[in-house]
Homo-oligomer: A and B are copies of this chain.
Amino acid sequence: MEPVVLKELLLLEDLSPAIEAVPSLHPADVAEGLKDVPFEQQLRFINLLTSERAAEILQAMEVNEAAEILNGLEENQAAEILKHMFTDEAADVLGELPEEDSEKLIALMEEAGEEVRELLAYEEDTSGGLMSTEFITVQEGQRVGEVLAFLRKQAPSTENAYYLYVVNQAGVLTGVVSLRDLVISPLTTKIGTIMKKEVISVPEDMDQEEVARLFEKYGFLALPVVDMDKKLVGVITVDDVLDVAVEEVTEDIHKSASITPLETGYTDAGVWTLFSKRILWLVGLILVNLVSSGIIAAYEKVLASTITLVAFIPLLIGTGGNTGSQSATLIIRALVTGDVKLAEWGRVFLKELFVGICLGLVLGAAGTGLGVFRGGPEVGLVIGLTMLAIVVVSNLIGMSLPFILTVLRMDPAVASSPLITTISDASGLVIYFTIASHILRLQ
């Protein structure tokens, strides 16, 4: 069945055809179909499902939407559904609810609630906040056949059954066995002889961007999380990391245009949210722009006497802003992906100095031509030199600001195109009027 058809069934008064369709659909498709259905109808539908199915579907929804639904359900039923969710997903959803409500639900979840409570104690954007506590542990001394029999009997419903973690008596992680290695090994082999001893694990408080980078580097399906005593406390799976990667990138991209990151997608954000995420930046940038206006005001007499100079203002400061945006964007992305390290700033500075001079020479030549054409050789010289200087300086401003922000322990992505453009504008005007005053011998 197509998700489109499901959407129509979900809108019917009689929900039984929709309920019947669920088993043949992927939970993610059901979640998508529910998106455009009125909230009351969503509740009715979830109410008619078994807790297992409801858990699968809520896990596939956006966290804030799943939380709203759980909040709308009767408490005992909400707790029952939460019990069937993976611990990491349950913790994410409960984290969205007011503490009072989540505490009530956790209490109703009994044993499963305890694990979720522990997960909720971690920062959301760290490895602890990403990990699930469902994992399979084995001992070095066990034999392959014994482990296979155990798996067959337990039929673990864990999110990640593809790696088995080997721990000693104290719970310390000593090795890892992939399900593939288990399956292809003779039944009498001991786990200790087929396990990989060099396990790459992460601490509980690693930043999620760093975790995503490790997954990308090593191509893992899952990574174990250990506490300070190297005891295994959780597992992060690659699907959670893919979500993180997309989320972090959207944040970075929004910041690149001076927008405070939205917590939801664009479609779910209302006019007021969009307004409030943008207005402060715009007002702040006006303050920076006032510097540019002040510089022009200071040179008003000069400009009035040589009015041709005004026509070149957008050209010169625009090109400076564009150049600065380019270098800032290149450097921010290189810093975020780990391609460039903070310590390499000297090498990057020299590189961008050269690139800036190359760009400046070409653009300066173009500027000279335009200046000569509009105002004669002297104006041509002014525009050409100004263009060269503005391009080199803006390029270095764009390159430096992300480094400076990183040193100040701020997010380099704050060095957005609008911010760089606005700073370049002011410095560009100073360069312009200084050069023009000298060459044209203005007062």
Contact = CB atoms under 8 A, between A and B. Distances in A.
Given A257-B328, A292-B315, A333-B254, A162 B180 contact: yes
Nearest to A429: B314
A5 interface: no
Interface string A416-435: 01100110011001000000
Contact of A217 (B28, B253, B329): B28
| Residue among A242, A275, A312, A319 facing the most chain B CB atoms (10 A cut-off) | A242
B252 A253 contact: yes
Interface string A140-180: 00000000100110111000011000000000000000011
Interface string A277-307: 0110111011001101110110010011001
A319 B154 CA distance: 63
Interface in A300-338: 300, 303-304, 307-308, 310-315, 317-319, 321-323, 325-326, 328-334, 337
Contacts of A330: 254, 257, 259, 266, 274
A37 interface: no
B258 A354 contact: no
Contacts of A258: 322, 325-326
A249 interface: yes
| Residue among A24, A184, A200, A363 facing the most chain B CB atoms (10 A cut-off) | A184
Nearest to A237: B219
A265 B418 CA distance: 24
B359 A282 contact: yes
B161 A180 contact: yes
A239 B219 contact: yes
Interface of A: 24-26, 28, 32, 60, 148, 151-152, 154-156, 161-162, 179-180, 182-186, 198, 200, 215-221, 238-239, 241-243, 245-246, 249-250, 252-254, 256-259, 265-267, 271, 274-275, 278-279, 281-283, 285-286, 289-290, 292-294, 296-297, 300, 303-304, 307-308, 310-315, 317-319, 321-323, 325-326, 328-334, 337, 339-340, 344, 351, 354-355, 358-359, 362-363, 366, 370, 374, 417-418, 421-422, 425-426, 429
Given A25-B198, A219-B242, A283-B366, 18 more contacts: A24-B198, A152-B184, A221-B238, A238-B239, A245-B245, A245-B249, A246-B337, A253-B332, A266-B339, A275-B359, A278-B359, A283-B362, A285-B318, A292-B314, A293-B311, A293-B315, A310-B310, A417-B417
